[in-house]
Each structure stands twice: as structure tokens, then as C-alpha cells.
Structure 1
Amino acid sequence: MACIARIEAWACRSPIAEPVATSFGIMRNRPAVFVRVEDDDGAFGWGEVFANWPAAGAEHRVNLLADDVAPLVLGQAADDPAALFQKLEDQLYIRALQCGEFGPFRQVVAGIDQALWDMRARREAVAVHVMLGASPVIRVPAYASGIHIDAADRVIPEARDTGFRAFKVKVGFSPDEAARVRALMDGLNSGEQLALDANQGWDTEKAKTFLDAVADLPLMWMEEPIRADMPASDWHRLAGRVPLAGGENIAGFADFSARLGEGVLSFVQPDIAKWGGFSGCLAVGRAALSAGATYCPHFLGAGIGLRASAELLATVGGPGLLEVDVNPNPLRDAFGTVRDSIEDGHWRLGPGPGLGVSQLPEAVAKCITHRREVLA
């Protein structure tokens, strides 16, 4: 039985000409954390750890992986990622509680889980979604994301030209946005769709006022109009106007099950790099479909996590769409540009094996700010 013998992690930062703004903060560069796990037979796999926030988070997560998590992973069997995922969730709980850093620990474990499933699929010489039991597919539906409402008049036509047929616009910046959303809807072509994302930017009353103003529009969804941790009663006050979406800021089977049980989310959006990896998010995606919701993976990172997210959507199935950030990101495009991957509203999956990544591209290597390696 092969055991995990080596873990490497890289923090990378790529400069960008135009910052990426949300209702709660601005990204002034594009960070990423990549993880490579190798067993004592020389097999390896890749994963990605969420590192967008806080601004200094990428380097911290590399150190957290090397100093706190890797000692619990090295020497463990490499053939059952789901079992190791649950073991790490249990073992790291008190550490995360002690320092109040549940997010970073969960994100590191998510990256390791992706890498272990990638390793298994590479051993079997198949794509990850096939190794996880899905029928082979060559593409999944996708939508253009990360579009600031102030830039939407320019970016939506650009995304349309790239090949997208669905778009998600960030709102929550100014009081006149309902009228601007209405104008964007009027500018869509036949068959195109529009979703909105407030990034938890409103209180319940502001969210209700906005949703009342756009309730007659055929929007795909309204994502995180209020904080993800607000009680069900607040979410229920917003229901019935526009389909509600959320999940990127929910973590753990219990919390996802509770939110699904409340029946307020029409679209459930766990992020494979923030919590769960394949092991956790696959279970949540299947539970969402069983509950009558649509699984739409959240992702706003670099190239390895995007590939993993696409493989996960191909595994879960259903009518969901892959989130593809259309803001400039060299750490994503080094693994394959968006324009080369999108066709007629669909994202083309790589041929594998696994996630189809053998090494970090040269363009990514030039952006490394920190690296750690830990051996058994």
C-alpha cells in the first residue's frame, strides 16, 4: 500500500492592471496556493488552496500546510482520500478552534484532498470525474463571473464574444443598481441569462428592497444578498422574488444539510478550494440535487482549482453551470486560457489523466513568492 511521502506547496502572486472589486474589498493582485502530493511509489497529484482573502493569506496558508497539516498527512495511506479528509477534519478541529482559523485549515485540507483524488485518477489513467464514477463527458455548461456592474456594459459583450451565454454581475455598490440591472437584462440576446451576486453586502432590509425592485425579471439567481451566517428567518424573508444562491461561505456537512433543509437556496455553491475538496463537495452536490436544488460550484481562483471544479461538476451532474471568472488572471490562463476553453456556453474538460497537470507552467513559476517542502 502506497503512503504519502512528500508534500510541496507554493504561494504565487501575479500583478494585474485592474483591481478586482467586491462589495467587501478589493484584490490588487491575483494570488494562488498550489499543492503537490507524492506517494512513496512516485505517483503524484495536484490541488489548489483558496487564497484570495485576506490579502496576506497565500503565504500564511503555505506555512500552515507545512507546519500544522503536513505532519498529519505524511505516512498516511494514499488510496482513500475521503477517509483521510474526514480524519483531518476531526484532528484539526481543536487547532482551528484554538486560533480561530477554521477557514485556513479547511482550505489547506481541501487542496490536499484535490491532490489525492488527482493522484488516484492519474494512477488509473482517467479523468477525475470518470474515476469518481461519472460517464465520460467532454464539456460542462459554464457562465462568465466576476463582472463588476460598473464594467458590465463592456465586459458582457466581451464575454459573449469569448463564447459565454450566461453572465453573473457583482452588485451592492450603489443605490441605483436595480435600474442598471434592468438595462442589462434588456441588452441580453435571446437565450442568454443573467445572475447577480452581492457578496453578502446588504442587510436584510436593503436586500429585500433590491429584490422587490427586480422581482419581475427572469434572473437566474441572486447570490448572497445577505451574510451567509444569517438565520433562516432572514433568508426566508427574501425568498419568493428571485431564486436565491449561496454556499461558498458555508462549510461542513452539518451546515450544508441545515441550509438545504431550510429550503431557501435554489442554487447551492460549495467551493472546492475553500472546504471539502472532492470528498466534501461531491457529497454536498449530490445532497443538493436530492433536495431539489441545483448544484453550481463556486470558484474564483487559479487554473488547477478551476479544472478541479469542472471535474466536480461533471461528476455531480444536473443542470448546474461552472463558474468562470473572466477578470484577467495569469495564474489561471497559464493552465489554458478561457477563450481556448469556452465554446457555445460550455467549458471543455481536459483529457486527463487526473486534472491534466504535470507541473507548474513557467509563467506560474515566475510568480512564486514562497515555497515549502515536507518529506516523510
Structure 2
Amino acid sequence: MIKITNIKIYLLKYNNKNPVLSSFGNIKFRSSLVIEIHDENNNNGIGEIWCNFPNHGGRYRFEILKDYFIDFLINFQFEDPSSVKKFLIEKFNSIKNQTGDFGAFENIFSGIDCAAWDLFSKIKKKPLNKLINDQSKNKIKVYASGINRDEHLERIQEARLLGIDRFKIKIGFNILEDIKAITSIEETIASNEKYMLDVNQAWSLDNVHENISKLKNFNYLWLEEPISANHSISEIVQLNKLHKNLAFGENLIYLKKFYELDNDTQIQFLQPDLARYGGITDILDLGKNIKKNKIWLHYLGGAIGLISSAHIMSALNPDGYLEYDINENELRTKIVNPSLQIINGYLELNENYGIGFQISDNLNQFIDQFYEYRN
């Protein structure tokens, strides 16, 4: 039986030089909310809690975690890592409904779940991906994302220097300007490279068909979230019947929606985010019930969540590509040991137990809030 005896919470902040632009708003600084749990033998597990947006969402989640979750987590005992999340959902279902704050609570459940799996795999003395699938490799291909439309030439070149050959560009601002940028991208892309487009849910049912039709002669690999994830599955499926290569999932909050989308054979790219909704437990359940080669994990945050996602991708869909934010972010590059590396287009993992990386001792420059509770 594993007993949680010590908990640390880190809210990390990095002031990026250039804001990340999207159709729903700008990210002016980067945040990473990390939970670290320890057992009686001082084994630890770490997980990241999604807090990208709005800009101060991390502080809000930090306070909820500190004020409400710690008392339930400390001294909790488990044999199966998935039981931690199940226990917390039962405890917090009422307050989640009372506040109407589905997102923050689900994000916290997910990050704690990731920490429990990291701790569990360390105790089992296995890398996380090999605990799930002993044939997993120590690397996964990545595609460059977070590319602002008007900076695509510079960001694509930066990605190429890392050996990356897939690039996702943000559109959804003005369709005519988007088309100019896409034309430029197609003139830039080499024969061995591909690009994707991310609308960030910016189009409505009133203009989505017209806008997609204007892109019909372009050769993008996929068009991501052209409409809001709040639309019904039937509306999404109908849209997919009329247009090619659509991708969904980043903002779907119920697993059953992924099952329904999996039934549509035309949809090839489903993009759950394990730090936002479901954690590792739900993604593994998803992998048992839908076609694994459709699972292309979405991820945009700090190093911890990215590494956790890399383990799950390498275990479930080793031939897929994991999302990798190409923008400057020292919360991705400077907060873990050993250093996170992209080599020849692959995110490199290792043979260390768990996720294989630990939080760096040199975090002072990034710490916005910190809390520790010892039994």
C-alpha cells in the first residue's frame, strides 16, 4: 500500500518576450502548476495541472489545491494509481457542481492523477511508458505548435533546427490574411514536411463552411477545432462529412465524446490533453476503447506535463506526433533534470523510473507561489 505523507505545490511563472497570440486571447506570460507527492520511503511523483489561460488561472488553481485538496490527499493510501483520482472526484463532486467550476477541478484531478502514476511507476521500478507497454521506445516524434501566423517563417526555421518536420500554425483571425499566410507556408514547406492549421474554435456554424471551403485547395495535414467544442457531436460529425482532415479533442471534456467521434471513420486525429481532462487514467481507458492510432495528445504547458504526455504517446501511439510548443518558455527547458531535449525531431526519454525526470533544484527565479505540507 502506498501512503502519501508529504505534498509540495509549485506555481512557476516565466515572462516570455513575445506573447502567444490566438483567436481567443493572448498569453502574456507562461505558468506551470506542479504537484509533487511523496510516500513514506520518500519516493516522489510529479504531475502538472493545466493553467494556461486566463493568465492568472494558475494562482486560482494553486489556492484551491492548497486550501481544499491537501487535507484529503495527506495520508491517503492506494494500491492502484487510478484510485486517487476516483477518490477525489467522489469527495469534490458536490463542490464542483456548486461552484460550476468544472474546468479548474478537472484540471487539478488530472494533475494529481499524473503524479500518482509517476510515483506508482517509480515504486514498481519501471519507466512509466514501459509500465503501460513494455515495447515502448524512449522517444516520440514531435510537431512544432504555438506558431503565430505572422511569424511562421521564423518559427518554422527554428523548428527545423531541432529536426522537426511538422508545424502547426494558428489561424482564425481574418480569413483573407490567413489565406495569405497559408500560401506563404506552402511555398516554404519542403517535400518531406507537413503543416497543420489551428483555428482555436474561432469560427461559428454560420461561417465555418464558407471558411473551410476557401481552404480546399491547400494541402494541410489537419484543420484543428474550426468550431467550438461545445457543439454537439452530431454537428461535429456532420461538419467532418463535408470537409476533409479535421481534428478535435483539446477542449472536449467528456470521454464519451471521444468514443462517439471514434465511430466516425473519417476523423483520424483525436487530441485529448491529459493535464486538463482525465489525467493518465482516462487516457489509458480511452486507449482501450478507441483506435490508438487516432490518439495524438494535445499539450501546451511546462516540462512536467509534456514529459508525462510523451510517455503516454510512446506507449499508445508510437507512430504519432506529440505537440511541442516551439515558443520560448524556460518552464519547459530549465525546470527539470536531466534537461529536456529534442534531437532529430524526437523528444528524448530515458530508462529512469517513472517519468524519468525530477524537478530542478534551481527554481527560485521561477517560483511565484510555493506550499509544502508534511505529515
Shared fold per TM-score greater than 0.5: yes
Q: TM-score range with shorter-chain normalisation?
A: over 0.9
Give CA deviations for 1:203-239 in whole Å, capped at 9, x if unaligned. 1232222211222333211111110111234323432
Partner of 1:317: 317
- Which residue identity does 2:220 align to in structure 1? L
Aligned to 1:372: 371
1:120 paired with 2:117, answer no
Contact 1:295 1:319 (C-alpha < 8 Å) held by counterparts: no
Query: 1:131 Cα deviation (Å)?
Result: 1.3
Counterpart amino acid of 2:368? T
CA distance in 1, matches of 2:126, 2:364: 27
- Secondary structure of 1:169 counterpart: strand
1:20 is displaced (CA, Å) by 0.7
Structure 1: give runs of 5+ residues left out of the alignment: none
2:226 matches 1:194: no
Letter in 1 for 2:44: F
Q: TM-score, normalised by structure 2?
A: 0.93
Aligned to 2:344: 344
Equivalence for 1:275 = 277
Deviation at 1:116?
A: 1.1
CA distance in 1, matches of 2:189, 2:87: 48
Give the match for residue 75 of structure 2.
75
- Per the alignment, do residues 331 and 361 of structure 1 end up closer, same or farther by CA in structure 2, a change over 3 Å counting? farther
State the SS of the aligned residue for 1:365: coil
CA deviation after TM superposition for structure 1 residue 307, in Å: 0.4
The alpha-carbon distance between structure 1 residues 336 and 287, as it changes in their structure 2 partners (threshold 3 A), is same
The answer as to whether partners of 1:8 and 1:37 remain within 8 angstroms in 2 is yes
CA distance in 1, matches of 2:340, 2:88: 37
Equivalent residues of 1:134, 1:314 under 8 A apart? no
Q: Which position in structure 1 is the counterpart of 2:328?
A: 328
Distance, in Å, in 2 between the alignment partners of 1:190 and 1:275 is 36
1:252, distance to aligned residue in structure 2 (A)? 3.2
**Contact 1:168–1:196 at 8 Å: present in 2 too?**
yes
SS at match of 2:104: helix
8 Å CA contact 2:136–2:318 kept in 1: the answer is no
CA distance in 2, matches of 1:233, 1:164: 35
Q: Residue type matched to 1:248 in 2?
A: E
SS in 2 for 1:17: coil
Matched residues in 2 for 1:361 and 1:170: separation?
35
CA 1:340–1:42: 2 relative to 1, 3 Å? closer
**Do the aligned partners of 1:273 and 1:305 also contact (CA within 8 Å) in 2?**
yes
Q: How far apart, in 2, do the equivalents of 1:171 and 1:332 lie?
A: 24
Shift in Å, 1:93: 1.9
Whether the 8 Å CA contact 1:269–1:297 is kept in 2: the answer is yes
CA contact (8 A) 2:19 2:26 kept: yes
1:300 Cα deviation from its structure 2 partner: 0.5
More displaced stretch, 80-89 vs 324-333 = 80-89
Indicate the SS of the match to 2:229: coil
> Is 1:249–2:251 an aligned residue pair?
yes
Distance 1:296 1:97, change over 3 A: same
The amino acid across from 1:198 in the alignment is V
Query: 1:169 Cα deviation (Å)?
Result: 0.4
Query: What corresponds to 1:230 in structure 2?
Result: 231
CA distance in 1: counterparts of 2:137 and 2:75, whole angstroms:
35
Q: CA 1:181–1:157 in structure 2 vs 1: closer, same or farther (change >3 Å)?
A: same
Structure 1 residue 318, shift from structure 2 partner: 5.0
TM-score, with length taken from structure 1 = 0.92
Residue 183, structure 1, aligned to residue 192, structure 2: no
Q: Deviations over 1:87-119 (max 9, x none)?
A: 322332221111011111111111111111111
Residue in 2 that maps onto 1:173: 173
Cα distance in structure 1, aligned partners of 2:163 and 2:271 = 23
- Shift in Å at residue 288 of structure 1? 3.2
Report what 1:42 is aligned to. 42
Distance 1:10 1:250 in 2: 27
Structure 2 residue matching 1:195: 3-state secondary structure: strand
Range that drifts further, 94-103 or 250-259: 250-259
Counterpart contact for 2:3–2:40, Cα < 8 Å:
yes
Residues 142 and 19 of structure 1: CA distance in aligned 2, closer, same or farther (over 3 Å): same
The aligned counterpart of 1:288 is: 290
Residue 287 of structure 2 aligns with an amino acid whose one-letter code is G
Is the CA contact (8 Å cut-off) linking 1:45 and 1:117 kept in structure 2?
Answer: yes
Q: Distance in 1 between matches of 2:151 and 2:321?
A: 22
